[in-house]
């Protein structure tokens, strides 16, 4: 049939196809004249096409039998049907033991000045694991780097946003009192939560209703004062060295130097006002007041555990300001133990919750996060390694009480809400630390439990793991998991 014999419709189609034919001929000529592609480009193109084809086949209708995630994971050498990226590396990323920034084939020796002691305390800063990536603020502060305020009878040093800016929700103070020494009568705008590290501390307080409280708080126990409640702290003679404790305040901007002190207030009040306020009998009644704050000072006597509070016509506070955490039975776990105290059992502590955690050598405080609360941590003993995942491929590893350092000072850690993390014991002794939160109730989400309670096919599609591995996931929180055999 000639062109003239074509119907009007066929003629239109024929005319429309002519440009495509011309383009095809030109492309064929150009490709014949172009140099051959390199083998790496061909390989990459084939791999990319194959991966696209596998992905497409997993979501497109097919006349043949469907490929399941289970079929794709029969051999660890194959990617799951939904994989679009390469598997993770299985190379070792344990902390280095030397003092040079070298990990595998990466890095080079330091040629300029360096601080070997600081390097040994922070091996994962010197040679980070290859899984670290991106940028992340510092979440480690050793109290040994804090400025110390020395007084007759003790000392105090603090951590706040001034030294660790990311810690916006909480601040800490480490304080020491010799027997009989007093942290003078005072109060704060914030609440005060405490954990006794050593010795015994006698606490006294009066609430807004005129109800009082007095108790001796021993090592491992807690106290809590709501905002504005006046109180005092005094070391007893139970330990000949006195007492030492950790204080946590629910504001990262807190400063110990901004405390409301009894002697400071009176030193800045006209004498006639003081005499009128206390109905002085004579002009000399209050003339011995200190001219400035005492802060920490020796009281001239050592309190006894048998002391009782003065009788108050309003009675005693209905909710105790102290809690005997040391007498609480710990929950035993495969890799350690945990004690959790919040307002459900320490009723007055409505702004602070704590988990006291122990981790055996080689074990791990499991991968987890806290949905709405920042975590302020304090490492009491042992050696820890923590990686914080901050989303968007940002992850950073920190060392607390590093085993290669000559000394181990108390370190403070901080993990913002919702950021994934774990705490690994990398030492040869038990790791003990506190997880502290600005909340009335402790909460966390376990990665292991989350995956165990998610549809198995969905988990396998994400991670490329076998049915057997899925079956080993824990439907209850491991909390602290034992090390691998």
Binding residues: 186, 188, 192, 231, 368, 370, 375, 421
Q: Which two tokens stand for residue 38?
A: 């390199």
Has 209 been annotated as catalytic?
Answer: no
Q: Burial, 273: exposed, middle or buried (Cβ in 10 Å; 0-12, 13-18, 19+)? A: exposed
Distance (Å, rounded) from C-alpha 289 to C-alpha 114?
Answer: 52
Q: Which residues contact 154 (CB under 8 A, 6 or more apart)?
A: 175, 176, 177, 178, 181, 183, 235, 242, 296
Q: Which long-range contacts (CB under 8 A, 24 or more apart) does 54-57 make?
A: 54/79, 54/81, 54/83, 55/81, 55/82, 55/84, 57/81
Token couple for 250:
């629910």
- C-alpha to C-alpha distance for 97 and 279, rounded to whole angstroms: 69
Q: Under a CB-based contact definition with an 8 Å cutoff, are residues 477 and 449 in contact? A: yes
Set 184, 256, 293, 435: catalytic member = 435
Residues in the annotated binding site for Mn(2+):
186, 188, 192, 231, 368, 370, 375, 421
Helices (H), 376-419: none
Distance (Å, whole) CA 397 – CA 373: 20
**Sequence-ordered list of residues with C-beta below 8 angstroms from that of 322, at least 6 positions apart, any chain:** 203, 215, 217, 221, 222, 223, 224
Give catalytic residues, as residue numbers: 435
């Amino acid at each position: 049939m000639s062109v003239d014999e074509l119907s009007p419709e066929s003629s239109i189609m024929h005319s429309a196809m002519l440009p495509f034919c011309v383009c095809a001929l030109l492309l064929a000529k150009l490709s014949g004249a172009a140099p051959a592609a390199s083998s790496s480009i061909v390989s990459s193109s084939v791999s990319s096409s194959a991966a696209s084809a596998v992905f497409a086949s997993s979501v497109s209708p097919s006349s043949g039998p469907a490929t399941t995630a289970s079929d794709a994971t029969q051999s660890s050498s194959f990617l799951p049907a939904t994989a679009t990226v390469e598997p993770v590396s299985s190379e070792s990323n344990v902390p280095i033991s030397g003092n040079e920034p070298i990990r595998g084939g990466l890095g080079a020796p330091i040629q300029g000045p360096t601080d070997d002691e600081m390097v040994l305390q922070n091996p994962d800063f010197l040679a980070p694991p290859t899984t670290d990536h991106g940028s992340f603020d510092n979440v480690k502060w050793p109290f040994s780097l804090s400025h110390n305020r020395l007084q007759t009878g003790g000392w105090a040093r603090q951590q706040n946003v001034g030294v660790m800016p990311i810690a916006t929700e909480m601040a800490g103070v480490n304080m020491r009192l010799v027997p009989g020494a007093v942290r003078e009568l005072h109060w704060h705008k914030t609440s005060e939560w405490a954990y006794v590290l050593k010795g015994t501390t006698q606490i006294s307080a009066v609430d807004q209703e005129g109800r009082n409280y007095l108790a001796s708080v021993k090592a491992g126990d807690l106290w809590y004062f709501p905002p504005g409640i006046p109180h005092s702290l005094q070391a007893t003679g139970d330990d000949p060295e006195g007492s030492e404790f950790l204080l946590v305040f629910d504001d990262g901007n807190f400063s110990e130097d901004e405390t409301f002190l009894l002697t400071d207030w009176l030193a800045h009040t006209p004498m006639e006002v003081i005499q009128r306020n206390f109905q002085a009998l004579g002009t000399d009644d209050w003339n011995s007041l200190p001219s400035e704050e005492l802060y920490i000072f020796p009281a001239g006597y050592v309190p006894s555990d048998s002391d009782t509070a003065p009788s108050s016509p309003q009675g005693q506070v209905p909710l105790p300001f102290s809690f005997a955490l040391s007498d609480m039975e710990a929950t035993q776990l495969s890799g350690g133990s945990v004690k959790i105290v919040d307002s459900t059992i320490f009723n007055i502590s409505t702004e602070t919750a704590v988990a006291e955690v122990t981790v055996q050598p080689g074990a791990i405080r499991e991968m987890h996060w806290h949905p709405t609360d920042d975590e302020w941590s304090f490492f009491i003993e042992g050696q820890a390694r923590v990686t914080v995942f901050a989303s968007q491929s940002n992850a950073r590893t920190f060392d607390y009480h590093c085993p290669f350092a000559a000394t181990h000072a108390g370190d403070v850690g901080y993990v913002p809400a919702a950021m994934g993390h774990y705490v690994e014991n990398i030492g040869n002794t038990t790791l003990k630390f506190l997880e502290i939160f600005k909340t009335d109730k402790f909460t966390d989400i376990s990665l292991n439990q989350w995956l165990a309670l998610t549809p198995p096919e969905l988990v396998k599609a994400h991670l490329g793991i076998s049915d057997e591995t899925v079956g080993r996931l824990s439907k209850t929180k491991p909390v602290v998991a034992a090390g691998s055999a």
